[in-house]
Structure 1
Amino acid sequence: MAVSRKTISIVLAFFAIYVIWGSTYLLNKIAVSELPPFMLASMRFFTAGILIFIIAKILKVDISITKKQLKNTIIAGFLFLSFGNGVVVWALKYVDSGFAALEISAQPLVVLILMRILQGKKISGMSYIGVFLGFTGIFLLVSQKQIINQEGQILGMIMIFICMLSWAYASIFVGQADLPKNFFVNTGYQMVAAGVMLGIASVSFNETWSAPTTWSTDVLWAMFLLIIFGSIIAFTAFNYLLKEVSPEKVATSTYVNPIIALVLGWWILNENITKQSIIAAVVLLTGVYFINSKRKIKPRALGR
């Protein structure tokens, strides 16, 4: 029986949000081993944003924006990308990519708690179980001697958690803010704004900028894949899936991404996977499942 074009598109889109987004932790880890973190993130998002606008022009998509929408895209770009992603890239100098992905998978837990605090949203019994399991999983992950005794690991994990607070607040903010209806245009403005802000941060921290001609082959490939696949293709696939399948199915990337990141980090970078890390992953992701099973808000494309 012939497979429809739509079915093929959906399968490829799921591959993108599962594998490509899961691999971005590895790619960032490779790139940040040689490049300053804020310069890296600035070049990635600014370049991706400009490419999105070029594609939009080719496709004759209207990229006009109101002053209020521009202001809101700048705020969202800061919360999601400048701080939310830029600081995570910095943290990857000290934290294994697999550990970072596992911690970030607890983001729905942070969103749920903030929604309770800021909006008074009721938490269901299933979600309470999810919160308990989520915090238990995080504790199991970060309490390992290998992490506690390694220089910079604890600070890196704390900064990633603060980034999760930024993403969670941004998720609530964009649900209420006046933003461009076209997700492609919205993303383009957020990425360009984030690229500029990260560039300013890079200069402020006296990071040394370098031309791509001076980068190693591994870093060049990592940046290329982050810009084209991680920032443009995977995000487009994510938004396509939100229109074609239920948000709950799209949210399954929350469980797959950290597993992909753990395996790739172990396979390519020889990162250590302990039994306690595996147990932490099972407990944490089970908690996220309980939270997502009752949430009705759409998942957000964060931290990739």
Structure 2
Amino acid sequence: MTPRFSLPNLRFRLRLPQSRSGQIALALAVVYLVWGSTYLAVHVALESFPPLLLSGLRNLFAGIGLFVLAVRRRPSMPTLLEVRNAGIVGTMLVGLSSGLLALGMRSVGTGTAAVMVATVPLFATVIAAVAGRQIAKGEWVAVGLGLFGIVVLNHGDASPSSTLGTIVILGGALFWAGGAHLAGRLALPSDLFLSTALQIGLGGAMSTIVAWVVGERLLAIEFWPVVSFLYLMLVGTMLAYIAYGFLIRHTSPIIASSCMYVNPVVAVALGALILGEPVTRWTVIATCVILASVALSFWFDRRKAG
């Protein structure tokens, strides 16, 4: 069933593409550029917000805002099963993935974190194999190449904090791939706007509860961390997740996750230009290797789809 919500309905007084290909191109541009810049925003916001609370509050508030807007459009109300499924997907995509990313970035640079998250399509391949899809040998080569790139990325940096941060971020990438896999298979609310609001809000609520239970509290509030938080909530979450949800429904999960192919380039560039993060030879080599492995996985996916 085609969802009632489509990108042209979300006008915000802008003239959006009317063709399906144009809508997909616009959605890809949003997730490419916006999510590429969120690593910088998270880095700045962590100066005042603890990681799990940062992830939880930004998504909880964004989910509430989207839900209010969705209800004003009077969509068909979801069933309890659809609400439960939205909560499951949201917990994986938002509560676990986003929370672990923020937690890992306390000891990992923005560019390195983005390169780590680029492994999502590789995890998607592994999950698809576990779910019973036949995986070609070349796809396993892509997975192996991506793992090799991770090893190269950590070459010469064996500090416990960096290693632990890397593991945590990879865990977040795994949950993201799992959430994307379930989003394409579980019954979710037919209205994309309402479905996205429930996923973000419920996932953010779970992360906020966990953050409160483990004792996270707001630190000294400063101007730029607050600005970064608002950017993450309004643009990095509300706008970008609508675009990503549109891609999930109208493309394959692997293609929808193709933002991981471009995000590292944006993140590394912003980290170097604004934060002065070093771009070493090993960073460049590892980035090329991981992105090549992701490109290879996309190529096999398109080839299998004919």
Q: Is residue 148 of structure 2 the alignment partner of residue 136 of structure 1?
A: yes
Match of 2:152, as an amino acid? Answer: L
Structure-2 residue corresponding to 1:225: 231
Q: Is residue 82 of structure 2 the alignment partner of residue 69 of structure 1?
A: yes
Name the CA shift for 1:274/1:219 in 2 (closer, same or farther; >3 Å). same
SS of equivalent residue, structure 2 residue 217: coil
Q: Is residue 173 of structure 2 the alignment partner of residue 160 of structure 1?
A: no
| Higher mean C-alpha displacement, 227-236 vs 86-95 | 227-236
| Mapping of residues 143-222 of structure 1, within 5 Å | 144-145=155-156, 147-149=157-159, 151-209=160-218, 215-222=221-228
SS of equivalent residue, structure 2 residue 75: coil
Name the CA shift for 1:124/1:199 in 2 (closer, same or farther; >3 Å). same
Structure-2 residue corresponding to 1:16: 30
Q: Deviations over 1:140-163 (max 9, x none)?
A: 112x22x313x5111010111122
Q: Equivalents in 1 of 2:251, 2:103: separation in Å? A: 34
Q: Deviations over 1:101-122 (max 9, x none)?
A: 1011011111111221x22322
Q: Equivalents in 2 of 1:244, 1:174: separation in Å? A: 12
In the alignment, which of 257, 260, 266 is matched to residue 266 of structure 2?
A: 260
Aligned length: 286
Q: Is residue 128 of structure 2 the alignment partner of residue 115 of structure 1?
A: yes
Q: Unaligned 5+ residue runs, structure 1?
A: 297-304
Q: Deviations over 1:9-49 (max 9, x none)?
A: 66654432221110011111111122111111111011100
Structure-1 residue corresponding to 2:51: 37
Q: Deviations over 1:196-252 (max 9, x none)?
A: 211211111111236xxx622211211111111111212223345567889887554
Match of 2:280, as an amino acid? Answer: T
Q: Equivalents in 2 of 1:169, 1:11: separation in Å? A: 24
Q: Equivalents in 1 of 2:192, 2:176: separation in Å? A: 18
Q: Unaligned 5+ residue runs, structure 2?
A: 1-14
Q: Is residue 65 of structure 2 the alignment partner of residue 51 of structure 1?
A: yes
Is contact 1:32-1:90 (8 Å) kept? no
What RMSD over aligned residues (CA atoms) do the two structures have, in Å?
Answer: 2.5
Name the CA shift for 1:123/1:242 in 2 (closer, same or farther; >3 Å). closer
Q: Equivalents in 2 of 1:163, 1:258: separation in Å? A: 16
Moved over 4 A (4+): 3-12, 239-252
Q: Equivalents in 2 of 1:243, 1:107: separation in Å? A: 18
Aligned identity (percent) is 28
Give the deviation of 1:61 after TM superposition. 2.9
Q: Equivalents in 2 of 1:249, 1:165: separation in Å? A: 16
Structure-2 residue corresponding to 1:300: none
Give the deviation of 1:60 after TM superposition. 3.1
Structure-2 residue corresponding to 1:299: none
Name the CA shift for 1:140/1:11 in 2 (closer, same or farther; >3 Å). same
SS of equivalent residue, structure 1 residue 273: coil
Name the CA shift for 1:65/1:272 in 2 (closer, same or farther; >3 Å). same
Name the CA shift for 1:215/1:291 in 2 (closer, same or farther; >3 Å). same
Q: Equivalents in 1 of 2:42, 2:283: separation in Å? A: 21
In the alignment, which of 240, 259, 277 is matched to residue 283 of structure 2?
A: 277
Q: Equivalents in 2 of 1:289, 1:241: separation in Å? A: 18
Q: Equivalents in 2 of 1:4, 1:178: separation in Å? A: 28
Give the deviation of 1:165 after TM superposition. 2.3
Name the CA shift for 1:270/1:83 in 2 (closer, same or farther; >3 Å). same
* TM-score (norm: length of structure 1): 0.85
Q: Equivalents in 1 of 2:179, 2:206: separation in Å? A: 16
